[in-house]
Amino acid sequence: MKTKRSKAFIRINMLLKSLSKRTLLIILLTVVAIPTSYGIYRLIDRWYQATAILTEPPETVKGSVITLRLFKEEYFIDYHNMFSNAARHGLAFPEVITLGYTIQYLRSELQRVREGKMLLYAIFDNKDNVLIGTIEIRELNDIDPGQEGVWLNEKYWGGGRFQEALKLITNVYFRLHPNEKRYITYVHLWNKRSYAAHKKAGLKDVGYFYEDGKAVYYILEMPRP
């Protein structure tokens, strides 16, 4: 084995000596340029995929810890099972809800999606591949305070899931709406956890929303990146 390797080394060495410096330089540049060009191509492709204007929302948006999937009726049961009391409390929903209540609510949500009034995704955990929440951005209107809404089952709080879900849907929203400069969200003053999570995700304080002369919501905005 040693003799064979020695002979192979001698042959390679003789071949290299027989080549001119110019030829060796061309070979070296070619070896370096091919992977470098591929790397540049991948960077440009990733940039394009993250910034190109969209005419319709993508079915799936994959992140490192969660994946967004356009909400469908087939998710109704999983949504109801994961929409726990802790998750409902954060959104001021009733403490107890029936499956019928959930289905009626979700059908109204999907109708708003069909009318182009809302972007709605189910959030799936990449590790467990289960639905763990939803995230939406609605059209701004005078009746429904705020535009963004998100919840996660408490078993999946932490780990960067909330921030990544916001990051992914924000990218999609602004690519769908190239003329929009921001979207806003309202967070109950008592919901300190949600407020801190939104701030960590990059939303900025705008002020407070008042009811009967009393502040009841934080108003935050996500500016266009």
Domains of the chain: 2-48 (no CATH), 59-223 (3.40.630.30)
d(Cα 2, Cα 89) in Å, to the nearest integer?
Answer: 73
Letter for the amino acid at 166? L
Give the pair of three-digit tokens for residue 1: 């084995």
**Model pTM score:** 0.77
Q: What is the pLDDT of residue 12?
A: 58
d(Cα 141, Cα 60) in Å, to the nearest integer?
Answer: 27
Q: What is the pLDDT of residue 35?
A: 62
Beta strands in the chain (DSSP E): 60-62, 66-70, 118-125, 131-138, 148-152, 182-188, 204-211, 214-223
Q: Give per-residue pLDDT as tens, 51-77.
A: 688 889 999 999 999 999 999 999 999
Q: What is the pLDDT of residue 141?
A: 81
Q: What is the pLDDT of residue 26?
A: 67
d(Cα 36, Cα 30) in Å, to the nearest integer?
Answer: 10
Ranges of residues in the chain whose predicted pLDDT is under 70:
1-26, 28-51
Q: What is the pLDDT of residue 34?
A: 61
Q: What is the pLDDT of residue 13?
A: 61
